[in-house]
Structure 1
Amino acid sequence: MEPLWKLIYLFEPAPLTLMLTAITVTFASAFRALTHGKEMERNRDFSESSITLDGPQALMIPLMSSCSLLLMFYLFSSLSQFLTIFTTAAAVFSLFFCFSPFVAYFNSKLGLVDPFLSRCCAMSFTRTQGLLFLVCIGIVGTWLVTGHWVLNNLLGISICIAFVSHVRLPNIKICALLLCCLFLYDIFWVYFSERLFGANVMVAVATQKASNPVHMVANSLSLPGLQLIAKKIELPVKIVFPRNLLGGDIPGSNSADFMMLGLGDMAIPGMLLAFVLCFDHQRSKESINPLNLSSLRGQTYIWYALPGYAIGLVVALATGTLTHAPQPALLFLVPSTLGPIIFISWIRKEFMLLWEGTETISKDKDRELEV
């Protein structure tokens, strides 16, 4: 155990940037989930594009995650190319999903005409969307060639936001079930997996690099500039920052040169924040604009969950700094986000509303409209 004064390390650029990025991504994921829900309400034909979890599905997530973790632990070298190709496709569509609202916003503000281009997979494509899709392919292609950590973070953040927007939690009952199961899942695979499998499975999988299919193709074709193409790349399943973020040295290939945080440590709390934000929004008559803080005055539960997430993240990083050992972040993030929401809702006698979820509020509003 390190002395407490070592916690001053948390004020260095890399830890600060990691924490600010994680908090911002979790916050942005909740708002993108809310705006995506509004889009689905306007276009009911696309309602199947989001999944609302029920009890059995919430239980299956940690079980399937455990199976996937073991599969990658034992067969990562065999599956790495497949994982890279699958991640590449997911990253392209996630980037497109995240950037589309900004493109639409600027088109409307500038009054630009965006003519219809084509129709694909039950979705209409405009010219601007087609150009955006090509830009997303270019960004992912650059990541495949260089493997740069900044692009890795960009792709990981977009995948996290897309996941939170498309996988929804209907009420606090399912929230608590999912978060508690993942709470135990994270503790087991970080603290106890080494006793059963001879290595820390979570850390081993998180720090492995995948084979780059672009390098293999270029090598087989004897293309020039092969040395500029990364042979192995980090998959965007985490965000990473060099420990010498503002230093003069270039970080090496060793994972010890980087600080990292798994996407699940942002996505899972982000799902909870998305639920309480949608819950607050359905109870409020005011619209929510993430760029206008004055529109957030009535959104109460989000302001208890978000500081809780920040506190849990700081405690997780502080514990890792003092112990020099990897920590299951959900061990700290689940109590610090779920706990305040349950406590405040119980004090306000609104716990049963959260327990039943937003469907009850929608039904109540429908009854009021009928009257």
Structure 2
Amino acid sequence: MESIWKLSHLLEPASLTLIVTAVFVTFASASRALNHGKEMERNLDFSEASITLDRSQALMIPLASSCSLLIMFYLFSSVSHLVTTFTAVASASALFFCLSPYVAYFKNLLGLVDPFVSRCCSKSFTRSQGILLLICVGTVVCWLISGHWLLNNILGICICIAFVSHVRLPNVKICALLLVCLFIYDIFWVFFSERFFGANVMVSVATQKASNPVHTVADSLSLPGLQMITKKLELPVKLVFPRNLLGGVVPGHNSMDYMMLGLGDMAIPGMLLALVLCFDHRKSKENSLDLTSKGPKYVWYAVTGYAVGLVAALAAGILSQSPQPALLYLVPSTLGPVIVLSWSRNELTELWEGPKQMPNDKAHSMEA
């Protein structure tokens, strides 16, 4: 009975908002990746900005992530300003990437003239893009000054969407390899890192705040309004929601505590969703005349599995009163349904190996 009462905290506003936001962001990342893929097909220049992972790269991601964790754990105070600056630039770029399609849509809808203002390195830059860039930079500056959790989440969501759109998986074989490696990575750094390093490395890195370079510069120059600039920042590498969101407070927690979910817990499953969404899109075009072949799309099974896995991770955290590696629950709940469903439909081999590249594909693209 006590466990059921504890699980009722999943209905807290902060918990529900976190779940809904994470599911939405994961699906939105996959959708944007599909649209970005279509853009790459129409414009060969876009292919230079996209990376398709191979086996060695999939194996290197957990190793590189582990090295980054240790650097952040031991040297974070030394590289804090550098990390914040790099994150600010990445956030502005990601926000620009996410908003660009909407600017182009409304520009075409309203029939607005959008003259070029510059051409640099064979890339054109229009007036609307210049205005959008100023808005993105202004948003990042507002985040640097205020450190507000809502701006942090907006920038984090954009980074997640941009990452899933630019880093792709060719097939379920590479996807499974990456997910299994990160599954082990997440479990080790959450459950076992304290035995080797004296502290929970994952939790320590996730909860530490970065020094704000804007505050440091303003302080050194004795600029007015220094008290309005936050000294420490939550970096947009995670979603954060205050537990007292809409007045709901979890008993036993401080009202200023936050619920957190790392971007990797959305971006990594988002890569799987992007893969199966592209597969669904390709199959729908191939079977457009075959009404009997249509059925529930893989992406809906993966999205449902993601929601179930996320709820399970949050429930486990509430019941155990300890941090949980979200990928422990998300990997089986997303990859499992896709593999079982594809096996039952006799499409596992096709998904496992990925689409075959035709030798004339590049020639056809050049002609187009």
TM-score higher than 0.5: yes
1:30-179 to 2 correspondences below 5 Å: 30-179=30-179
Task: Give the counterpart letter for 1:343 in structure 2.
Answer: V
1:152-301 to 2 correspondences below 5 Å: 152-247=152-247, 257-285=257-285, 300-301=297-298
Tell me, in whole angstroms, the C-alpha distance in 1 between the residues paired with 2:200 and 2:74.
12
- TM-score normalized by the length of structure 1: 0.91
Question: What do residues 182-216 of structure 1 show as CA deviations (whole Å, max 9, x unaligned)?
Answer: 00000000000011111000000000001100001
Task: Give the counterpart letter for 2:333 in structure 1.
Answer: S
Q: CA deviation at 1:154?
A: 0.5
CA shift in 2, pair 1:67/1:162, >3 Å: same
Tell me the matched-pair count: 352
Q: CA deviation at 1:80?
A: 0.4
Instruction: Indicate conservation of the 8 Å contact 1:281/1:299, yes or no.
Output: no
Question: What do residues 108-162 of structure 1 show as CA deviations (whole Å, max 9, x unaligned)?
Answer: 1111111112123442111101100000000000000000000000010000000
- Structure 2 residue 345 is the aligned partner of structure 1 residue 325: no
Q: For residue 304 of structure 1, what is the aligned residue in structure 2?
A: 301
Q: For residue 292 of structure 1, what is the aligned residue in structure 2?
A: none
Tell me, in whole angstroms, the C-alpha distance in 2 between the residues paired with 1:345 and 1:65.
31
CA shift in 2, pair 1:305/1:349, >3 Å: same
Q: CA deviation at 1:355?
A: 0.9
- Structure 2 residue 352 is the aligned partner of structure 1 residue 346: no
- Structure 2 stretches lacking a partner, 5+ long: 287-293
Which sits farther off after the overlay, 234-243 or 109-118?
109-118
Tell me, in whole angstroms, the C-alpha distance in 2 between the residues paired with 1:299 and 1:105.
30
Instruction: Indicate conservation of the 8 Å contact 1:146/1:229, yes or no.
Output: yes
Question: What do residues 160-186 of structure 1 show as CA deviations (whole Å, max 9, x unaligned)?
Answer: 000000000000000000000000000
Instruction: Indicate conservation of the 8 Å contact 1:2/1:323, yes or no.
Output: no
Task: Give the counterpart letter for 1:95 in structure 2.
Answer: L
CA shift in 2, pair 1:12/1:365, >3 Å: farther
- Structure 1 stretches lacking a partner, 5+ long: 287-296
1:4-23 to 2 correspondences below 5 Å: 4-23=4-23
Give runs of ≥4 in structure 1 deviating > 3 Å: 362-366
CA shift in 2, pair 1:299/1:135, >3 Å: farther
Q: Percent identity over the alignment?
A: 72
Q: CA deviation at 1:45?
A: 2.2
- SS of 1:246's equivalent in the other structure is helix
Q: For residue 290 of structure 2, what is the aligned residue in structure 1?
A: none
From 333, 336, 360, the equivalent of 1:336 is: 333
Question: What do residues 31-75 of structure 1 show as CA deviations (whole Å, max 9, x unaligned)?
Answer: 000011111111102311100000000000000000000010000
Task: Give the counterpart letter for 2:163 in structure 1.
Answer: F
- TM-score normalized by the length of structure 2: 0.92
Tell me, in whole angstroms, the C-alpha distance in 2 between the residues paired with 1:27 and 1:298.
19
Instruction: Indicate conservation of the 8 Å contact 1:30/1:164, yes or no.
Output: yes
Tell me, in whole angstroms, the C-alpha distance in 2 between the residues paired with 1:198 and 1:329.
22
- SS of 1:236's equivalent in the other structure is coil
- SS of 1:105's equivalent in the other structure is helix
- SS of 2:224's equivalent in the other structure is coil
Tell me, in whole angstroms, the C-alpha distance in 1 between the residues paired with 2:118 and 2:296.
39
Q: CA deviation at 1:279?
A: 1.1
Q: For residue 291 of structure 1, what is the aligned residue in structure 2?
A: none
Tell me, in whole angstroms, the C-alpha distance in 2 between the residues paired with 1:299 and 1:277.
12
